Chain A
């Protein structure tokens, strides 16, 4: 609906992205750049869930399944084919196909939404267990050893397409930032397309949407697959910064991304990106302190937000700003809508 605002937001995102990818490598040490690439991949991961949960209203507890599949698919395909461009395609396609199969089962089985969360979580844990038990030489896909809980340490790094050079850490960082900006723009754009609005309709009232002729199940399946593809892309970047191991299917990975989205705010895209970056820094900080377990911080944050700020930081901030502005401006215009109240989701 609000096209100009969206263009401004996208422009801003591009500007910030451009500035970051040019300036940051100049001032930061190498490990800082590598870390930033990791954060960026996680931000994309957060966006994938922001799209699925925040925008489409489908709460998936096991988003890390798609992330992990993307990472593993990249590593295994890259080892087998030698060419990393094909591996990238695998990193996105494998999660999408997996999501299609799982989603078909979930959405066409008329399972209630609550079970969807539990089942997706279960699926992640199954993958965790399965991959953990693939230690030893007998477990391999083509040339790639899956390696059980040791993971795949010798993942080939990303190259320029068609047999080009290996990307340097800085180039990889630039690539990651470009991906992030593109994914963000994609999400914003998607929300405004007919498809996106139909998704919003299904989120608001599934039965009504169907009575108007929207195929709710297919729409949900489609957004589920899209979100899985984005998570796969995040996994691909992750596999290039940190080596893949089963912990990416673990519970804390699944919990983290959920926390980023809820802290950043449901229904927004910027919020989860910022939250993911800030919270990762916080986690690293507490990790360095050593005496406090990061799980304590994650847990406390999650509880605090669910209980006190359930709509997340960005919408809450917008609402407070709106209230203040209303106070300052025209007093007592009855029935005027405050931005960001319950039930309304603005997509920023």
Chain B
């Protein structure tokens, strides 16, 4: 729990005139569970997009395990060990839950092992009974869970979760918290969330994004009482 697994330095993304990210410096240690928060439009999703290679940063460097992944292709980054659950579930809509999971087990060579893992993960997330359903016909909450299951199954070294609790019931949120803590026992996890209740359940260190930069970084309790953070949120809207 010492060397940083991920180090971003001065990462900036400009869309024409809009500076979605304006020099983000962030470092995550191996084995950490980090939460990112920030008002809407702060740049959290954009930052994740840079980490996964969906966007190329305008400026700055991203180092993952001693390698600069700035110019890498998406699949190269994925193979290097970064997996993501995106904010809007992005799945294989024409295929079944089972097939979606099968595809996320690319690393597992043996077919029987894949089948075992599929059942195991679905069980863990609590959606084993949805196994045969076609994704395109499922509700948003269920789709969220399937995407989570895919990340868990593919077992990347660094797991990125973009608003995993959105649209979930309280019971589901609690289950989710347990899954994430469990996942964290052998993976590094970075979670973007708005739900403070939920963050309290899982977080230790929280990084606050604001207007494309890191505003503060501290323990949860200190963050909750930080005046700057309050000002940022109250300026926009109240925190639930």
Question: Are chains A and B touching directly in their complex (CB below 8 angstroms)?
Answer: yes
Residues of A near any B CB (own CB < 8 A): 1, 197-198, 200-201, 203-205, 207-216, 335, 337, 341-345
- Which chain B residues lie closer than 8 Å to A345 at the CB level? 94
Residues of B near any A CB (own CB < 8 A): 52-54, 73-75, 78-79, 83-84, 86, 90-95, 99, 102-104, 106-107, 132-134, 136-137, 150, 154
Q: Is the CB of A205 within 8 A of B73?
A: no
- Which chain B residues lie closer than 8 Å to A335 at the CB level? 137
State the total of A-B contacts with C-beta under 8 angstroms: 78
Other 20 A-B pairs with CB < 8 A, given A204-B94, A337-B133, A344-B136: A1-B99, A197-B99, A198-B103, A200-B92, A201-B92, A203-B94, A205-B92, A207-B54, A208-B91, A209-B92, A211-B74, A211-B75, A212-B83, A212-B103, A213-B106, A213-B107, A213-B154, A214-B75, A343-B93, A343-B136
- Which chain B residues lie closer than 8 Å to A213 at the CB level? 75, 78-79, 106-107, 154
Q: Is the CB of B75 within 8 A of A344?
A: no
Most chain B CB neighbours (cut-off 10 Å) among A200, A203, A204: A204
- Which chain A residues lie closer than 8 Å to B83 at the CB level? 211-212
Q: Of A204, A210, A215, A337, which is within 8 A of B92 by CB?
A: A204
Q: Is the CB of A344 within 8 A of B134?
A: yes
Within the complex, the shortest CB–CB distance from B157 to chain A, in Å, comes to: 12
- Which chain B residues lie closer than 8 Å to A209 at the CB level? 92, 103
Contacts known (A197-B102, A209-B103); A343 close to B94, Cβ less than 8 A: yes
Within the complex, the shortest CB–CB distance from A52 to chain B, in Å, comes to: 17
- Which chain B residues lie closer than 8 Å to A207 at the CB level? 54, 74, 90
**Distance in angstroms between the alpha carbons of A131 and B106 in the assembled complex:** 45
Within the complex, the shortest CB–CB distance from B51 to chain A, in Å, comes to: 11
Q: Of B73, B104, B134, B154, which is within 8 A of A337 by CB?
A: B134
**Distance in angstroms between the alpha carbons of A67 and B75 in the assembled complex:** 33
- Which chain A residues lie closer than 8 Å to B132 at the CB level? 337
Q: Is the CB of A211 within 8 A of B99?
A: no
Contacts known (A209-B103, A337-B134, A343-B136); A200 close to B95, Cβ less than 8 A: yes
Most chain B CB neighbours (cut-off 10 Å) among A1, A213, A343: A213
Within the complex, the shortest CB–CB distance from B57 to chain A, in Å, comes to: 17
- Which chain B residues lie closer than 8 Å to A198 at the CB level? 103
Within the complex, the shortest CB–CB distance from B103 to chain A, in Å, comes to: 5
**Distance in angstroms between the alpha carbons of A118 and B79 in the assembled complex:** 33
**Distance in angstroms between the alpha carbons of A335 and B133 in the assembled complex:** 9
**Distance in angstroms between the alpha carbons of A207 and B54 in the assembled complex:** 8
- Which chain A residues lie closer than 8 Å to B91 at the CB level? 205, 208
Residue of A nearest to B136 (CB): A343
Q: Is the CB of A214 within 8 A of B106?
A: yes
Q: Of B52, B90, B133, B134, which is within 8 A of A205 by CB?
A: B90
- Which chain B residues lie closer than 8 Å to A343 at the CB level? 93-94, 134, 136-137
**Distance in angstroms between the alpha carbons of A348 and B162 in the assembled complex:** 38
**Distance in angstroms between the alpha carbons of A208 and B99 in the assembled complex:** 14
Contacts known (A337-B133, A337-B137); A215 close to B75, Cβ less than 8 A: yes
Within the complex, the shortest CB–CB distance from A206 to chain B, in Å, comes to: 9
**Distance in angstroms between the alpha carbons of A27 and B45 in the assembled complex:** 68
**Distance in angstroms between the alpha carbons of A89 and B48 in the assembled complex:** 48
Residue of A nearest to B133 (CB): A337
Residue of B nearest to A218 (CB): B75
Q: Is the CB of A211 within 8 A of B94?
A: no
- Which chain A residues lie closer than 8 Å to B52 at the CB level? 211
**Distance in angstroms between the alpha carbons of A198 and B132 in the assembled complex:** 19
A-B contact pairs, 18 of them (CB 8 A): A197-B102, A198-B103, A200-B95, A201-B103, A204-B93, A205-B90, A205-B93, A210-B53, A211-B54, A211-B83, A211-B84, A213-B107, A213-B154, A215-B75, A216-B75, A335-B137, A341-B137, A343-B93
